[in-house]
Amino acid sequence: MDHRQITRGLRFTLTAVYTLVFTLLLVGVALLFRQTLVSSLDTQVHEHLDQNWAVVKAYLHIVNDRGLTNYHPNWNYDHDDPDESNTVAGVQGVYVIADDQGHVLDDGMSATYETLGEDKPDQIRAVLRSPQPVWLQKHDDKGVPYLIRASYVTGETDPNKKFYVAIGVPLADSQKLQTRFTWMIAGLIPLVIVTGCGMGWVFTGRALKPVVEVAETAQSISGSNLSLRIPSRGAGDELDRLIETFNQMIERLEVSFNQIRQFSTDVSHELRTPITIIRGQLEVALFTATTVEQYREAIINSLSDIERLSQIVRALLLLSQAETGQVVLQKQQLDLTEVLEGIVDQFQIPAEGAGVTLTFDNRTARCTGDFDRVQIERMISNLMSNAIKFTPPGGEVKVTLDRHEDMAEIRVHDTGEGISPEHLPHIFDRFYRVRGAGEQASPEKGLGLGLSFVAWIVRAHGGTIDVQSELHKGTTFRVLLPLHPAAPGMAEGAVAPGEVVRSS
């Protein structure tokens, strides 16, 4: 398989789409996680500083016991209580206290805060005016970030005097955590994608294997080995259904191929028999006939066999023309009663010859519609000649005409030999003949084209045909024809959608 074949394959497309979707999902989830982590760390730091501020409020007193202007912080807590000492020490890690002029008080700044750089007097005044705490980020001389919570407290002795107090915590730990998380997912995502992509490739390969097998079997199927079937996997899934459909298709093809093969054999036989007879008759005449009478007889016999030959060839030609849409219907206003009466009359003599009673039962006053006279006559003749042919002497053939609103119903019923259920579904197929074991094709038996042609004529007129038959009891063909087809042009030339229904 070359590069282009791989990239065009279903396996590649499926894996690529799957990998893309998987990657997008993974990156999306990772970003969401990171965002959640950042915001929860942020909330934690803010809460921590809010708690520290509560400590400031509780323990920090700004006093000026050293003179009027000399204010200084007094952390008033129980030095013997380790809890209190630790809490206050935690706050004292990073803090600054300044007066409203921006001057840092004595003992008003932790060593760490000094490394963060001084707070500008303007900024301090802004904080003193703000009812809400002000949050800012500062960096020490080594670049470590700190979150600062700046607000104010009032003087112990003078409640009108505000003092600027800023406390902070280093953000190094939470930033380190964020960075570590980012690196971790950045390293993991490609790994997971590569693994997922590999697994996708393997699984789609496995899933598509039956498709490849179907393709290989299909490739090895040809006209000569149509008996090949793809074994079902027994999973009952979509692929099994595909295999089943494929096998059914091959089966239908096999049936068609066999019919065509059978047909070729039958046609050769049908054509060979009259040709052999003609040849025999002519040879006999040539070598043995002495009188004009004998010659004449040989020629007359040969002509009748030649007529049989041309009938076969005409039937074949007509059917192939009909099925390839070359027969154009010549529609005209036609009274079906009159047509049927005419044909029944014509068939009286052959029916009598076969010892069969032929009757016509007209159950409607008028049944006129747009039909091709030649084709309709051909259709009814076919049905009637079959009925007479397959009915033993003493039997009965009955033709009825009925009308249901815009539909004409023609029935050709006989009390003949009937058709067994296994043959019934096939009798409208081309070249299909019901023939007993060992029975040879004979001129009386026909070519099996009659009913295919009947079905085509019915379809071309927008109608339907069905058959009911019981072995040794008789057969009824029922044709329904629309008197005024909905789309008149549709049946012209091309076969209109119709239906052939068989039932027993």
CB 111 within 8 A of CB 95: no
Rounded Cα gap, residues 80 and 146, in angstroms: 30
Count the site residues for ligand ADP by CB under 6 A.
21
* Phi, psi (rounded to 5 degrees) for 52: -60, -35
| Site string (139-178) toward ligand ADP, x via CB under 6 A | ----------------------------------------
Closest CA to 56 of 150, 174, 127, 132: 150
Residue from the set 59, 163, 432, 456 that interacts with ligand ADP by CB under 6 A = 432
| Residue from 152, 263, 390, 456 binding ligand ADP (CB under 6 A) | 390
CA Rg, the chain, in Å?
52
User: Within 13 Å and on the Cβ side, how many CA atoms surround 402?
Assistant: 9
Examine residue 450 and tell whether it contacts ligand ADP (CB under 6 A): yes
Cβ atoms of 109 and 95 closer than 8 Å: yes
Gap between the terminal Cα atoms of the chain: 54
Q: By CB under 6 A, is residue 447 in contact with ligand ADP?
A: yes
Q: Which member of 362, 445, 490, 492 binds ligand ADP (CB under 6 A)?
A: 445
Q: Cβ closer to ligand ADP: 373 or 502? A: 502
Residue 434 touches ligand ADP, criterion: CB under 6 A = yes
Residue 363 beta carbon to ligand ADP: minimum distance, rounded to whole angstroms: 21
Q: Does 113 bind ligand ADP (CB under 6 A)?
A: no
Q: Which of 88, 343, 427, 480 binds ligand ADP (CB under 6 A)?
A: 427
Least Å distance, CB 325 to ligand ADP, is 21
CB atoms within 10 A of CB 169: 21
In the complex, minimum distance from the CB of residue 450 to ligand ADP, in angstroms, rounded to a whole number: 3
Residue 386 as a binder of ligand ADP (CB under 6 A): the answer is yes
| Nearest distance, CB of residue 477 and ligand ADP, angstroms | 7
448: burial class by Cβ within 10 Å (0-12, 13-18, 19+)?
A: buried
Of 161 and 445, nearer to ligand ADP (C-beta) is 445
Please count the other Cβ atoms lying within 10 Å of the Cβ belonging to residue 25: 10
C-beta of 161 vs 435, nearer to ligand ADP:
435
Query: Tokens at residue 233, please?
Result: 């996997």
Nearest-approach distance from CB 326 to ligand ADP, in angstroms: 21
Please state the φ and ψ torsions of residue 408, each to the nearest 5 degrees.
-100, 140
Choose the stretch contacting ligand ADP; rule: CB under 6 A; options: 78-86, 254-262, 306-314, 412-420.
412-420
Burial category of 373 from C-beta neighbours within 10 Å (exposed 0-12, middle 13-18, buried 19 and up): middle
CB 214 to ligand ADP: min, Å: 36
Min CB(388)–ligand ADP separation in Å: 8
Q: What span, in angstroms and rounded, lies between the C-alpha atoms of 216 and 207? A: 16
Q: Note the Cα 94 to chain centre separation in Å.
A: 68
Nearer to ligand ADP, 369 or 446 (CB): 446
What is the SS3 string spanning 253-314?
HHHHHHHHHHHHHHHHHHHHHHHHHHHHHHHHHHHHCCCHHHHHHHHHHHHHHHHHHHHHHH
Strand partners, 476: 413, 468
* Minimum gap (Å) between residue 444 Cβ and ligand ADP: 9
- Residue whose CB is less far from ligand ADP, 146 or 432: 432
Q: Is 398 in the site for ligand ADP (CB under 6 A)?
A: no
Q: Is 475 in the site for ligand ADP (CB under 6 A)?
A: yes
Q: Exactly one of 162, 398, 433, 478 binds ligand ADP (CB under 6 A); which one? A: 433
What single-letter amino acid sits at 267?
Answer: V
CB closer to ligand ADP, 466 vs 492: 466
For residue 455, the minimal CB distance to ligand ADP (Å) is 9
The interface region with ligand ADP, picked from 251-259, 290-298, 350-358, 409-417 by CB under 6 A, is: 409-417
Indicate the residue among 23 and 262 with the shorter CB distance to ligand ADP: 262
Q: How many CB atoms lie within 10 A of CB 88?
A: 21
Residue closest to 123 by CA, chosen among 164, 161, 157:
164
Nearest to 218 by CA among 192, 241, 240, 243: 243
Q: Cα(291)–Cα(310) distance, rounded to whole angstroms?
A: 29
Distance separating alpha carbons of residues 387 and 413, to the nearest angstrom:
7
478 binds ligand ADP (CB under 6 A): no
Residue 230 found at the interface with ligand ADP (CB under 6 A): no
| Cβ closest to ligand ADP, residue 96 vs residue 410 | 410
Supply the minimum distance, in Å, between the C-beta of residue 493 and ligand ADP: 23
Amino acid at 217: T
With CB under 6 A as the contact rule, the residue among 167, 298, 343, 387 that binds ligand ADP is 387
Contact range with ligand ADP by CB under 6 A, out of 92-100, 107-115, 363-371, 431-439? 431-439
**Separation between Cα atoms, residue 354 and residue 387, nearest integer Å:** 11
Q: Contact 390/416 with Cβ under 8 angstroms?
A: yes
- Min separation Cβ 442 and ligand ADP, Å: 10
Among 108, 446, 462, 498, indicate the residue that binds ligand ADP (CB under 6 A).
Answer: 446
**Which stretches of the chain bind ligand ADP, using CB under 6 A?**
382, 386-387, 390, 414, 416-419, 427, 432-434, 445-451, 475
